[in-house]
Amino acid sequence: MKGVVYAMWLRQLKRYWRSKERMIGTLAQPVLFLVALGFGFGPIFQKAGGGDYMQFLAPGIIAMSILFTSMFTGIEVIWDRQFGFLKETLVAPVPRTHIMIGRTLGGATVGVLQGTAIGIICLFFGFKITNMHYIPLALVFMFLTAVMFTALGTAIASRLQDMHAFPIIMNFLIMPLFFLSGALFPLEGLPKAVEFVARIDPFSYCVDGIRGTLNGSVHIGLATDFAVVAAATVIVLAVGSYLFSTIEI
């Protein structure tokens, strides 16, 4: 098992590092959000009594970077199917679940690296980490978030044949998950319907956990955040492994 998982993990990393355009592109969007929203809405947020908006926004942008990067690694399943590599992989005498886990860990590693890079960039725009002792826990939240959404992207891709349909479905899922998670605005004082959706959005707990560990601003609670994120990760990984193991080639 270790050999298969490691091989798939390493392959995902090599794909990422070989694509300079992909690396630059995945960094550009979060930085654009950070600059446009951070400096655009910062004065309004402060006047409304919300404090330093960059302190609030930066963890949400870090989580956003992980979400987008992790989910879109699923398109590689369709790409491999189109060019025959997936068939060569699946006919190997190893359990498909091991292949799925290796791919997921590889995509999750890329997502965490992407989130870490955005976190470092945020420091240059005025973001401050208030408690260095919580950085390991922040990395745990980032890794669980990356595993969850890499597995989700892979699960969806395993049921698609059309490469062009994947980005459409991903955007349909990602945008509500992101915008209703509290990444860009506080969850206090929302209409009941919006608050309910935010509460059942697993990404809300990812954002709250990352924000709480980096700057101490917690809306839900770190213990609850961790429990929900860990449980959701296990469930999505199990469902994704099943769907990938039954994929038709």
Distance CA 230, CA 226 (A): 6
- Phi first, then psi, for residue 171 (nearest 5°) are -65, -35
Task: Report the 10 Å Cβ neighbour count for 15.
Answer: 16
Say if CB 177 and CB 203 are below 8 A apart: yes
Report the candidate in 14, 154, 145 with the shortest Cα–Cα distance to residue 73.
Answer: 154
* Helix/strand/coil (H/E/C) assignment for every residue in the chain: CHHHHHHHHHHHHHHHHHCHHHHHHHHHHHHHHHHHHHHHCHHHHHHCCCCCHHHHHHHHHHHHHHHHHHHHCCHHHHHHHHHCHHHHHHCCCCCHHHHHHHHHHHHHHHHHHHHHHHHHHHHHCCCCCCCHHHHHHHHHHHHHHHHHHHHHHHHHHCCCCCCCHHHHHHHHHHHHHHHCCCCCCCCCCCCHHHHHHHHHCHHHHHHHHHHHHHHCCCCCCHHHHHHHHHHHHHHHHHHHHHHHHCCCC
Per-residue pLDDT tens, the chain, 249 aa: give them.
556 666 666 666 666 666 656 667 678 888 888 988 888 888 888 887 778 899 999 999 999 999 998 888 877 777 777 766 666 677 666 777 888 888 888 889 989 999 999 999 999 998 999 888 999 999 999 999 999 999 999 888 888 877 778 788 888 888 899 999 999 988 888 888 888 999 999 999 999 999 999 998 898 999 999 999 999 999 999 998 888 888 766
Predicted pLDDT at 28: 83
* Residue 64 in tokens: 């956003």
- Distance, first Cα to last Cα, the chain: 22
Domain containing 106: what range?
A: 2-245
Question: Total structural domains in the chain?
Answer: 1
Q: What is the pLDDT of residue 16?
A: 66
Residue type present at position 75? I
User: For residue 145, which of 72, 204, 86 has the smallest C-alpha distance?
Assistant: 204
Locate tokens 């989130």: which residue?
Answer: 115
Number of alpha carbons in the 13 Å side-chain half-sphere of residue 123:
8
Q: What is the pLDDT of residue 19?
A: 62
